[in-house]
């Protein structure tokens, strides 16, 4: 894993989220990846589970914005700070997120272990 491979992965992650396209996850995660959305919850375990979660995201969010800054990259993982916002359907609530990703990539630039920590702020229009 290097800076460019992590940056490319983050760009594709952002594209998958902003386009709300769970099929792009095939290029992001291995079949047996573990995806920790919150530090104390059980992970989404494997591609089918991760896609099920993202399908909910695709149905409940619109107007998604995502940006990131890479903090650090090692041979096995990268750490990035990210910010995002979206409109939650159907109540038109604006949600802002601020968080950290820790991402382990394999030699094919696919994630095997994904961990995130985030805080949200909600505002009604």
Average pLDDT along the chain: 95
In the chain, DSSP finds a helix count (H) and a strand count (E) of 2, 6
Domains held by the chain: number:
1
Q: Where are the alpha helices (DSSP H) in the chain?
A: 3-18, 47-60
Is pLDDT above 60 for 99?
Answer: yes
* The residue to which tokens 């394999």 are assigned: 106
Domain that holds residue 59: 3-124
Average pLDDT of the segment spanning 69-76: 96
> What are the φ/ψ torsions at residue 85 (nearest 5 degrees)?
-145, 155
So what's the pLDDT on residue 91? Answer: 87
**How far, in Å, CA of 49 to CA of 35, rounded?**
9
Q: What is the pTM of this model?
A: 0.94
Predicted confidence at residue 28, as pLDDT, reads: 98
In the chain, what's the furthest Cα-to-Cα distance? 44
Whether residue 124 has pLDDT greater than 80: no
- Three-state secondary structure call for residue 20: coil
CATH of the domain at 40: 3.10.450.50
């Amino acid at each position: 894993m290097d800076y460019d491979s992590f940056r490319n992965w983050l760009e594709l992650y952002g594209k998958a989220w902003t386009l709300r396209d769970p099929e792009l996850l095939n290029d992001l995660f291995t079949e047996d990846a573990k995806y920790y959305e919150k530090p104390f919850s059980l992970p989404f375990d494997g591609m089918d589970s991760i896609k099920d979660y993202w399908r909910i995201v695709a149905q409940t969010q619109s107007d998604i914005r995502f940006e990131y800054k890479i903090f650090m990259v090692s041979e096995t993982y990268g750490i990035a700070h990210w910010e995002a916002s979206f409109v939650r359907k159907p109540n038109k609530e604006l949600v802002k997120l601020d968080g950290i990703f820790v991402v382990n990539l394999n030699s094919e630039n696919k994630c095997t272990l994904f961990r995130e920590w985030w805080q949200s702020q909600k505002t009604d229009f």
